[in-house]
Structure 1
Amino acid sequence: MRAVVHQGLHQKLSVETIADPTPGVGEVVLSVGRCGICGSDLHMTEDPAFGVDKGAVLGHEFAGEVVALGKGIERLKKGDLVSVVPIASCGKCPSCLAGEPAWCEKMNLQGGGYGEFAVTNENQCVMLPKSASMADGAIIEPLAVALHGVMMAEQKPGDKVLILGAGPIGLGVAYWARKFGASKVVVQDINNYQETRARQMGATDFIVDMSDPVGAAERALGGKADIVYECVGVPGLIPQAVEQVRIKGTVVILGLCTRPETFVPFVALSKEVRLQTSAFFKRQEYEAALDALDSGAAEPRALVTDTISLDAVPDVFESLKKRTHQCKVLIAPRG
Structure 2
Amino acid sequence: MRAAVFKGAGQPLAIETLDDPKPGPGEVILKVHRCGICGTDLHLTSGHAFDFQPGTVLGHEYSGEIVEVGSGVEGFRTGDIITAVPSVGCGHCAACAEGNPVLCHETKPVFGGYGEYLRAPASAAVKLPSTLSLADGALVEPLAVSLHALRLATMRPGDKVLVLGGGAVALTTIYWARRLGAGRIVAASRSERRAALALEMGADAFVQSGDAEVAEVSEALGGSPDIVFECVGVPGIIQKAIAHVRTYGQVLSLGFCIDPDTIMPAMAALKAVKLGFPVGYALRDFQYSAETLHAGRVDPARMISSTVSLEQLPATFEMLRGPNTETKVHVALS
Structure 2 residue 88 is matched with structure 1 residue 125 = no
Coordinate RMSD, CA, aligned: 1.7
Q: Equivalents in 2 of 1:217, 1:19: separation in Å?
A: 53
Q: What is the correspondence of 1:126-275 to structure 2 with a 5 Å cutoff? A: 126-275=126-275
Structure 2 residue 281 is matched with structure 1 residue 278 = no
* Structure 2 residue matching 1:314: 3-state secondary structure: helix
Partner of 1:13: 13
Which residue identity does 1:100 align to in structure 2? Answer: N
Q: What is the correspondence of 1:302-321 to structure 2 with a 5 Å cutoff? A: 302-321=302-321
* Structure 2 residue matching 1:251: 3-state secondary structure: strand
Alpha carbons 2:110, 2:119 under 8 Å: kept = no
* Structure 2 residue matching 1:49: 3-state secondary structure: coil
Q: Equivalents in 2 of 1:224, 1:291: separation in Å?
A: 33
- Kindly tell me: are residues 103 and 9 of structure 1, through their superposed partners in 2, closer, same or farther at Cα, counting changes over 3 Å? closer
The structural deviation recorded for 1:223 is 2.1
Normalised by the length of structure 2, the TM-score is 0.95
Partner of 2:33: 33
Normalised by the length of structure 1, the TM-score is 0.94
The structural deviation recorded for 1:228 is 0.4
Partner of 1:325: 325
Alpha carbons 2:103, 2:280 under 8 Å: kept = no
The structural deviation recorded for 1:323 is 3.3
- Kindly tell me: are residues 274 and 93 of structure 1, through their superposed partners in 2, closer, same or farther at Cα, counting changes over 3 Å? closer
Partner of 2:295: 295
Alpha carbons 1:35, 1:63 under 8 Å: kept = yes
User: Sequence identity of aligned pairs in percent?
Assistant: 42
Partner of 2:89: 89
The structural deviation recorded for 1:6 is 0.9
Q: Equivalents in 2 of 1:17, 1:304: separation in Å?
A: 28
- Kindly tell me: are residues 92 and 261 of structure 1, through their superposed partners in 2, closer, same or farther at Cα, counting changes over 3 Å? closer
Alpha carbons 2:124, 2:283 under 8 Å: kept = no
Structure 2 residue runs without a partner (length 5+): none
**Residues 176-212 of structure 1, C-alpha deviation per residue, up to 9 Å, x if partnerless?**
1111222211111111121111111111111113233
Which deviates more, 103-112 or 19-28?
Answer: 103-112
**Residues 229-267 of structure 1, C-alpha deviation per residue, up to 9 Å, x if partnerless?**
001111101111111000101101111112111111011
Partner of 2:60: 60
* Structure 2 residue matching 1:63: 3-state secondary structure: strand
**Residues 87-129 of structure 1, C-alpha deviation per residue, up to 9 Å, x if partnerless?**
1234577754653333445322221100111111111111111
The structural deviation recorded for 1:138 is 0.7
- Kindly tell me: are residues 275 and 20 of structure 1, through their superposed partners in 2, closer, same or farther at Cα, counting changes over 3 Å? same
Q: Equivalents in 1 of 2:94, 2:260: separation in Å?
A: 33
Alpha carbons 1:200, 1:299 under 8 Å: kept = no
Alpha carbons 1:28, 1:122 under 8 Å: kept = yes
Which residue identity does 2:292 align to in structure 1? Answer: A
Which residue identity does 1:243 align to in structure 2? Answer: A
Moved over 4 A (4+): 90-98
* Structure 1 residue matching 2:150: 3-state secondary structure: helix
* Structure 2 residue matching 1:278: 3-state secondary structure: coil
Alpha carbons 1:175, 1:299 under 8 Å: kept = no
The structural deviation recorded for 1:303 is 1.6
- Kindly tell me: are residues 176 and 260 of structure 1, through their superposed partners in 2, closer, same or farther at Cα, counting changes over 3 Å? same
Which residue identity does 1:135 align to in structure 2? Answer: A
Q: Equivalents in 2 of 1:26, 1:48: separation in Å?
A: 36
**Residues 10-57 of structure 1, C-alpha deviation per residue, up to 9 Å, x if partnerless?**
211121212211222222111001111000011122035323111211
* Structure 2 residue matching 1:50: 3-state secondary structure: coil
Q: Equivalents in 1 of 2:87, 2:253: separation in Å?
A: 21
Which deviates more, 291-300 or 266-275?
Answer: 291-300
The structural deviation recorded for 1:300 is 4.6
* Structure 1 residue matching 2:226: 3-state secondary structure: strand
